[in-house]
Structure 1
Amino acid sequence: MPVPFKQIDFGPTKTSKTVHTDGTIRVRLEQPLGIYPEKLTEKLVYWAQATPDRTFLARRNEAGEWIRYSYGQTLQAVRAIAQYLLNQNLGPDDTLVILSENSLEHALLALAAIHVGIPYSPISPPYSLLSKDLGRLQHCLECMTPKVIFVQDRRIYQQALALAKSLFPEVVIISAEPGSETNFEELLQTQPTEAVDQAFANVCPDTVAKILFTSGSTGLPKGVINTQQMWCANLQQITQVFPFMAAEPPVMIDWLPWNHTFGSNHNLGLALYNGGALYIDDGKPTPAGIETTVRNLREISPTVYFNVPKGFEMLIPYFEREPELRQTFFRRLNMLFYAGASLSQPIWNRWEELAIETIGERIPIITGLGCTESGPSAMFANWGGSFSGLLGVPVAGMEVKLVPDGDKLEARYKAPNVTPGYWRNEEASQKAFDEEGFYRTGDAVKFLDENNPDKGLIFDGRIAEDFKLSTGTWVNVGLLKAKIIATGSPIVQDVVIAGLDRDYVGVLLFLNADACRKLATLTSEVPTLDVFQHATITDFINSLLIKLNQTAKGTSERVERAIVALEPPSIDLGEITDKGSLNQRAILKYRASLVEELYQPNLNGSFPEAVVFREALTPKS
């Protein structure tokens, strides 16, 4: 008998499906969307009155001690900061920009802006800290035209602030550092007046709460408008999917960045909406950051845990070595949730095994589908026994229209949680919606069971990424990519598929340096380029291609050649997003020379089954 899942209260999944004569299909959840507040900080006011002493936010200070803000303290701080912003003559037509990682100050300032209807934008830290030309940061700043900018640390963001001052000489710079021109403590000491209450009263569902920049597949970042209604409606939808969060306020320990919809709208929002606690994790899934995450997980027992697939993968060795860490983690855990990319089935299976070894039952592993434009959640597979790639059913109040595109179905959304458009970009806004007002996601999906829509939808790739070989055969990029990563894990970190109008499929592989070192038994002193070119890694990739092709059902699934990309993707060229996912189109554009290598015959004109080319590349703009 299979090991049972922990009994969790999930929302209903009964759907209705309508097929139209033009081939479109409409799917929606039969459960209606419940009542939700007009503005997000209504929940802050409510919890500050109902549970004023309950921890809402916490973060370690430099001494390693947890600094906590209760709901009562948070509302008090938010009202003071809101008054300061009003004193600077900021209103609904002005903007505020945050250049900072997750922090208590970041959260308080954001909530204050939301409370009185001042649009704010948390701009991706890599645009300031990793970019060589600051081009994307400049684009975002020029789009926002801020009156106020907050930075956690002026020294780290020195170049970014210099750029901002050159663009907007009158901008007010606020910092959390002592001795700054405008210190965050000044904001906290401001005495709130009736002006705060009046501004709060004027906030309505259509008021812009914030702007989240997303790069998409091409061009410069676009600012997705997030209204108060979007955010509140989506939090109500998610809570109906996971009613156990309303029954027991969630406890989260989370690193996911607030310039993304997953970390901010979803995770921070769910904590506030349901009166829960969010402990800010200053770690991340990198060799340096994972130790910080593990330290926090040794102390905090979450009721839900959110991460990206890479984060779940990097935690496994620690959980295998430390029984006490596992006990603390699983003690009251109700759900594991991943997003941002596909979780490989081996990693999924190992987490189920760890739960069984620790508490004797399986913990549901959940995901869904959504995007920044849907605030973010559009559908969930909210039941135990799911599998990687299953997206589930629509959230309450969401109508999903499936539109034929070749041999695929594109998912389009209409619901109160869908954005009205892009900030100061009317052209992009118009292109984003169809003639009926449905948002065009570009995501392809299909039914797990055509006769039973309640079993959910499956991810079927991206409409724009798929292509035809010269034979006319379609290549499903999303599915092939997931198969390669799952088969090549943990060595293969990511992959880009090539082959448009070519005779066969070739791939560019991006490898995990730490996993390669472990496989080749190399120390950290060995340079990464040498690690990637080690004979053991070459043998692994040759074997990978052979293994993939043994199960290929045709040329669309057969990988003839692979190249290991020795240089990391460039954020300035848009090859990688700041959340770590690759931009397929940009990689193919800027690494065209590598793509050509995939299709050059050997001297004798033959094309062996498994050939690995190694090419370093300096991408050119």
Structure 2
Amino acid sequence: MIHPEATSDKKPFAEPRINMEKRRDGSILLSSEIPLQDDYSCCVGEWLEHWAREAPERTWLAQRDADDQWQRISYGEAHRRVIAIATWLLTQDLSSERPVVILSDNSIEHALLMLATMHIGVPSSSISPGNSLMSKDHAKLKGNIELLRPGVIYADPIEKFQPALKAIADLHDATLVAGSSSASSSGTLPFADIEAHSDENAVMAAFAAITPETIAKFLFTSGSVNTPKAVPNTHRMMCSNQKAKELVWPMLAEEPPVLLDWLPWSHTFGGNHNFNLVLRWGGTLYLDDGKPTPALIEKTARNLREISPTLYFSVPRAYDMLVPLLRKDASLREVFFRRLKLVFYAAAALPHHLWTALEEMARETTGQEIMVVSSWGSTETAPICTDCHFNATRSGVIGVPIPGTSLKLVPSADKLEVRVKGPNIFSGYWKQPELSAKAFDEEGYYMIGDAVEFVDPERPEMGLLFDGRVGEDFKLLTGTWVHVGALRMAGLEAIAPVGQDIVVAGHDRDEIGFFIFPHPEECLRLCPDLPENASLETLVKRPEIIERVHQGLQALKADGGGTSTYPTRALLLSEPPSAEAGEITDKGYINQRMVLTRRAELVKALYADVPDERVITLNTQS
């Protein structure tokens, strides 16, 4: 159901009210006192149907065209095209056993095809383009295709994907559809051909058969270490998630949201949280062709000079690159903060210096405070399980359970492992029953693998802090646990602003070490005599940068807490993290284990009995 007038409450967020039950075994159950009504939509397609009737001329999506102009599509036009595409899909013998696979960056056609599949009860799977374009052996893509056995594969532009398509040719019998930006290609069907005819009666008959348990899409886990797992996302998972969002963010009903977003639809943050939020509330989504990389962040800045978002969603790495650009460009700041209601981060904790920088720039630019909020979840939870719908006391607060979702906090070593249950939680991995059985505990709670801690154990409404991945933590040879997530954040604050990210080393060692990915712009700011194009190789050797890291190492030790809470050595890396090698995900999150594995020789150098000149130690001379 759609209720655009769902609330008259003028407060932007609902007040957090939490039930807490402490069990004899030491576990704790947390849930929201706000009930999750059962009147949420049956399927995602209801939102498109609603806005195509109520606001047919309103822009739904916009993307840059070949002439660098914004190409827009309205809700009415989107609905017409979705019906036509769905008409063709009905002729292709598709099902959950033969879904549609999408190999493409975010685009209008990508969105239309995704919604067309959902309109007839057939799943689609947007697979990370990196699996096709950055891989040499296409091992992940082969695993994806073998698991799904698709009936249709869409690629755009198809010529870019030809090596990948050749690698998987023997693994499927799918019809290949070429996106409209493709050159002509034999053996493929042009996208224009699949929307040439329309049979709305047939499409709506299929639409009427959709239930909340119908699989809407398959999303793959990152597969950083093992073969990726396919997560069936049902309409119930996604629709209940957006209903919970409505209950804790009543401001969404006040005006249609406007987003500029780069987050890939092959991941749950961009493809479920952001995409669905815009569609649910009849908003407008501008597709950002920039990304948080040195080569593409300027495209994001260019787009933000034209588009004033009402909500801004991204990951900490992106804010780390965006903040220096905002700081030095008053016109960019003015457009960015003009209509902005809140800044939202997820996928990792936001370093405190970035949090305060965003708050200060918003205040200086508009005279108003800006909310900086977060949430927490995963591919398996569609995605949010907790939401910070209040003014947090510090960065890293992931909020409280959303309506309808229950958390179980289980003591594990000296942490609280968090497990989840609710209508937004998946029922198991696709065609992997053994992995599915291991994913849930005896009470049916999904064991997500993360840890949390209370901001204040006596006041659960103040929220939870993300306390790292249980699997990332390790013991030193002394037997003491190293909590990687917390130490990474402490390290970034201690060496600010020179570090863009930190990888924590020390497995099977007596001491902790840091690998530091430097922040080029901030390092240049500390070295004003260097040209703007100075290389990372030059920057990591500069005494100003080395001294800042040395001061940070000393500060962390001075904070006390023992050898598991501070590093004794660090190494500044002159090679950025490699997406192709799996060191960084599509969302900009560092894969700690992959960096340590790929850079094993540097680990040896970091821990050499006589460190070379690259290694900064607590004894390094200032």
Class of the TM-score when normalised by the shorter of the 2 chains = over 0.9
Distance 1:196 1:283 in 2: 36
- 1:17 maps to 20
Label 1:533 to 1:72 Cα distance change in 2 as closer, same or farther (>3 A). same
Matched residue type, 1:151: A
Equivalent of residue 144 in structure 1, options 128, 137, 148: 148
2:476 matched to 1:469? yes
Matched residue type, 2:110: H
Label 1:251 to 1:346 Cα distance change in 2 as closer, same or farther (>3 A). same
What SS class does the counterpart of residue 383 from structure 1 fall into? coil
- 2:452 maps to 445
Distance 2:56 2:140 in 1: 41
Distance 2:139 2:577 in 1: 16
For residues 460-609 of structure 1, the aligned pairs below 5 Å read 460-520=467-527, 521-523=529-531, 526-571=534-579, 574-602=582-610, 609=617
Question: Where in structure 2 are there 5+ consecutive unaligned residues?
Answer: 1-9
Deviations 1:508-539 (A, max 9, x none): 22223444445445446554434434444433
- 1:83 maps to 87
- 1:29 maps to 32
Deviations 1:241-292 (A, max 9, x none): 2111122211111111111111110011000011111111111122332222
Deviations 1:73-94 (A, max 9, x none): 1111111101111122223431
Label 1:571 to 1:368 Cα distance change in 2 as closer, same or farther (>3 A). same
Range moving further from structure 2, 544-553 or 587-596: 587-596
Distance 2:496 2:582 in 1: 25
Deviations 1:427-480 (A, max 9, x none): 211111111111111111111111111111112222122222232322211110
Deviation at 1:411, TM superposition (A): 0.7
Label 1:122 to 1:522 Cα distance change in 2 as closer, same or farther (>3 A). farther
Distance 2:353 2:611 in 1: 40
Deviations 1:61-109 (A, max 9, x none): 1222222211111111111101111122223431111111110000000
Alignment check: 8 A CA contact 2:220 2:229 kept: yes
Alignment check: 8 A CA contact 2:122 2:215 kept: yes
Equivalent of residue 178 in structure 2, options 163, 174, 179: 174
Label 1:554 to 1:278 Cα distance change in 2 as closer, same or farther (>3 A). same
For residues 136-535 of structure 1, the aligned pairs below 5 Å read 136-168=140-172, 170-176=174-180, 177=182, 179-180=184-185, 181-215=188-222, 218-520=225-527, 521-523=529-531, 526-535=534-543
Deviation at 1:492, TM superposition (A): 1.7
What SS class does the counterpart of residue 102 from structure 2 fall into? strand
Label 1:458 to 1:124 Cα distance change in 2 as closer, same or farther (>3 A). same
What SS class does the counterpart of residue 398 from structure 2 fall into? strand
Alignment check: 8 A CA contact 1:12 1:31 kept: no
Deviations 1:328-348 (A, max 9, x none): 322222111111221111111
Deviation at 1:611, TM superposition (A): 6.5
Count of aligned positions: 604
Deviation at 1:207, TM superposition (A): 1.0
- 1:108 maps to 112
TM-score for the superposition, normalised by structure 2: 0.92
Deviation at 1:603, TM superposition (A): 9.0
What SS class does the counterpart of residue 140 from structure 1 fall into? helix
Matched residue type, 2:172: F
Distance 1:188 1:169 in 2: 21
Question: Where in structure 1 are there 5+ consecutive unaligned residues?
Answer: 1-6, 613-621
Distance 1:253 1:410 in 2: 34
Distance 2:517 2:566 in 1: 19
Deviation at 1:193, TM superposition (A): 4.2
Matched residue type, 1:20: R
Distance 1:291 1:536 in 2: 27
2:123 matched to 1:119? yes
Alignment check: 8 A CA contact 2:150 2:174 kept: no
Aligned-residue RMSD, C-alpha: 2.3
TM-score for the superposition, normalised by structure 1: 0.92
Alignment check: 8 A CA contact 1:499 1:506 kept: yes
Alignment check: 8 A CA contact 1:133 1:572 kept: no
Distance 1:104 1:199 in 2: 23
Matched residue type, 2:606: L
2:133 matched to 1:129? yes
Alignment check: 8 A CA contact 1:513 1:532 kept: no
Alignment check: 8 A CA contact 1:448 1:457 kept: yes
Matched residue type, 1:67: Q
Deviation at 1:203, TM superposition (A): 1.3
- 1:94 maps to 98
What SS class does the counterpart of residue 47 from structure 2 fall into? helix
- 2:55 maps to 51
- 1:69 maps to 73
Distance 1:603 1:156 in 2: 45
What SS class does the counterpart of residue 155 from structure 1 fall into? helix
Distance 1:279 1:244 in 2: 20
What SS class does the counterpart of residue 388 from structure 1 fall into? coil
Distance 2:211 2:241 in 1: 16
Deviation at 1:325, TM superposition (A): 3.0
Distance 2:63 2:11 in 1: 29
Range moving further from structure 2, 430-439 or 172-181: 172-181
Deviation at 1:573, TM superposition (A): 5.0
Deviations 1:482-516 (A, max 9, x none): 11122223422222222234322122222234444
Alignment check: 8 A CA contact 1:254 1:278 kept: yes
Report % sequence identity. Answer: 44
